[in-house]
Amino acid sequence: MSKKSIIILIVIFLVVIVGVFQIFGKSKTPRYETVKVERGNLAQTVDATGKIDSAQNLSLHFEAMGRVSKIYVKEGEEVKTGQWLANLSLTELNSAVAQAEATLNQKLAGATDEQIAVAQKQVDSAQITLDQANKTLQDTMELSQKSLDAKYSYAQSALDDAYIKIYNADSVVTTIQQTYFISNSQESLRIKDEEKYNIEEPMNLAKTYINAAKSSNKQEDVDSAISQMVATLNKVLNSLTVIRDICTKSAYEAIITSADKTSLDNQKAYISTAQTTVSSLQDDIGILKTQNNSNINQAEAAVATAEAALEVQKANYNSLTAEPREVDLAFSRAALDQAIANRNKAIIKAPIDGVVTKIYKKEGESISTAETMVEMLSPHYEIEVDVPETDVVKISNDDEAEITLDALGNDVKFSGKVIMIDLASTEIQDVVYYKVKVTLDDNNDERVKPGMTANILIKTDFRSDILYLPSRGVLTRDGTKYVRVLENGELAEKEVVLGMKGDDGNVEILSGAQEGDEVVLKTLD
């Protein structure tokens, strides 16, 4: 092989290597199946199939129990579709509707200048209350400190006075001991020990505590000095009692002068008085601390209450001045719809043209949802269908329906509406169903015959100009709904609030996503 051929083979080999690297060496960018959030109309329907029957008798029920308030028709009277036949008491139900409507209108219109002004005054008032509470707390703390300082200042004087009384008592005992008890008798030794260990040494120790308290000027040191002084006074008083008892013995009765005995009795009285004073002072300080803490705690609680009240008023003011959120408006609209629906349950209107054949209750009588209120005779056609429990909750009386007949094909459409939802359930192959009756509005079409198979599409709800996307694009974690959105090629999660579930698996987006957001349905690789 020539040198030129070898060079050509090497070049081809390198080109192949580079191509393989270009194809397999690069990392693949993840691919996703996505859908965009769209704006448009969303319909919610329920479809069912049944047979056309000739509607001879209709039994009309209230959907709520209560007391019959008003009956507007008589037996034998001809009525038109939608004519009001009877109702239960509507006072509370009308109030609920009015309240829900007022709430919605208020959110749409926003707060009035008067409401904002009142809210601002409430904020100002709450702030004044908080300032007053803080001032009261500050005054309470200062007063508590002053009263406690005064008590501790008095304590210093009381301790000094008690010490002087102990010192004087020690001097009297020392004089008596050196005058009458200088021998080695048992009484002399006892008095000497009493003076040294139960008067002099405790006195000196108490003095040490008093000096420490004066030096530091700390309340805890004063407390310690008071406690020590109470113990010292107890010892000194007990010691004086022992010494006085020795002086009354027969061996010393005639030796010790009356003046010395009187002096000893006086010292006992002085020490007893000091003991009472210092013990009471100790108790007073404890009580004062407890009272001060209670007063301060009450003042602090008042501040906390005032702070919470101020936050409530601020929140109320902010809610009045803030722009209404769409989610709040949706909630208010739903509340109004629910209030109207509850009121309608207490009203019976003629679902079709016909004749009232029987009225079962009189005004003022109670009635349940299971009892028939009015019976009507009608020549009109109606269709009874079985609707599964998952769909029947979407249906309400007077919902419009689109009807097609197998015999006439899907191009021929009739209109109708729901006139009855049976409260009793039936099971068909372990599935719970409820019977729903739908009228056929066009009863003059000669092509329509009883027994024909009818396909019914009940229009349960409709929303226009709303955001929606397929429900399979919505994920749930810990009870929170969210979607995964592609933003500049990167995945981001957005929490969303959902509204109505429509047909074709679509769901309304109340908040959290924007029109045009590219929502990930699944990862392809």
What confidence tens digit (pLDDT) does each residue in 121-144 have?
999 999 999 999 999 999 999 999
Q: How confident is the model at residue 279 (pLDDT cuts 50, 70, 90)?
A: very high
Average pLDDT on 104-110 reads 74
pLDDT of residue 245 exceeding 50, the answer is yes
* CB 37 within 8 Å of CB 467: yes
pLDDT of residue 14: 64
User: What are the CA-CA distances from residue 277 to residues 247, 267, 283, 455 (Å)?
Assistant: 28, 15, 10, 103
DSSP state of 25: I
**Which residues, 6 or more positions from 174, have their beta carbon under 8 angstroms from its beta carbon?**
195
Please tell me the distance from the alpha carbon of residue 83 to that of residue 85, in angstroms, as a whole number: 6
What residues have CB less than 8 Å from 357, skipping those under 6 apart? Answer: 57, 75, 76, 375, 376, 377
Cα–Cα distance for residue pair 251/186, rounded to 1 Å:
12
478-494 confidence digits (pLDDT tens): 888 888 888 887 788 88
Say whether pLDDT at 26 is over 50.
no
* Domain range annotation of the chain: 125-315
The yes-or-no verdict on residue 287 having pLDDT over 90 is yes
Q: Rounded CA gap, 196 and 210, in Å? A: 20
Segment 387-398 shows an average pLDDT of 82
Sheet strands (E) in 296-380: 347-349, 354-359, 366-367, 374-377
Helix, strand or coil, per DSSP, at residue 151 = helix
- The pLDDT tens digits of the residues spanning 160-210 come to 999 999 999 999 999 999 999 999 999 999 999 999 999 999 999 999 999
pLDDT value at residue 25: 45
Least confident of 199-208, 271-280, 418-427: 418-427
CA distance 5 to 484: 57
SS3 481: strand
Contacts of 424 (CB under 8 A, 6+ apart): 434, 435
pLDDT for residue 242: 95
pLDDT recorded at residue 55: 61
* More reliable by pLDDT, 203 or 331: 203
Residue 166 CA: distances (Å) to CA of 160, 161, 163, 229: 10, 9, 5, 10
Identify the pLDDT of residue 17: 65
Length of the chain: 525
Share above pLDDT 70 across residues of the chain, in percent, rounded to a whole number: 92
Q: In angstroms, rounded to a whole number, what is the distance separating the alpha carbons of residues 223 and 9?
A: 105
Q: Under 8 Å CB-to-CB from 498, ≥6 apart: which residues? A: 474, 481, 507, 508, 509, 510
- Cβ-contact 390, 374 below 8 angstroms: no
Beta bridge partners of 459: 45
Q: Which distant-in-sequence residues (6+ apart) come within 8 Å of 268 by Cβ?
A: 169, 237, 240, 241, 244
Return the bridge partners of 426, or none.
Answer: 433
Exposed/middle/buried for residue 120 (C-beta within 10 Å: 0-12, 13-18, 19+):
middle
Supply angle C-alpha 196, 282, 271, rounded to 5.
35
Residue 374, pLDDT score = 92
435: tokens are 């019977």
| 468 and 38 Cβ atoms separated by less than 8 Å | yes
Q: What is the pLDDT of residue 193?
A: 94
* 222 pLDDT above the threshold of 80: yes
Contact 18, 25 (CB under 8 A): no
Mean pLDDT taken over the chain: 86
- Report the range of poorest mean pLDDT among 23-32, 152-161, 414-423: 23-32
Q: Sorting pLDDT into bands at 50, 70 and 90, what band is 102?
A: confident
Most confident of 88-97, 204-213, 456-465: 204-213
pLDDT of residue 283: 95
Least confident of 20-24, 54-58, 171-175, 337-341: 20-24
pLDDT at 54: 58
pLDDT per residue over 364-379, tens digit each? 899 999 999 998 877 6
Q: How confident is the model at residue 269 (pLDDT cuts 50, 70, 90)?
A: very high
Whether domain 125-315 has CATH 1.10.3470: the reply is no
User: Burial, 177: exposed, middle or buried (Cβ in 10 Å; 0-12, 13-18, 19+)?
Assistant: middle
pLDDT of residue 442: 64
The owner of tokens 């397929």 is 470
φ, ψ at 127 (rounded to 5°) = -65, -40
What is residue 311's three-state secondary structure? Answer: helix
Asked if residue 284 has pLDDT above 50, the reply is yes
Q: How far apart, in whole angstroms, are the C-alpha atoms of residue 97 and residue 103? A: 10
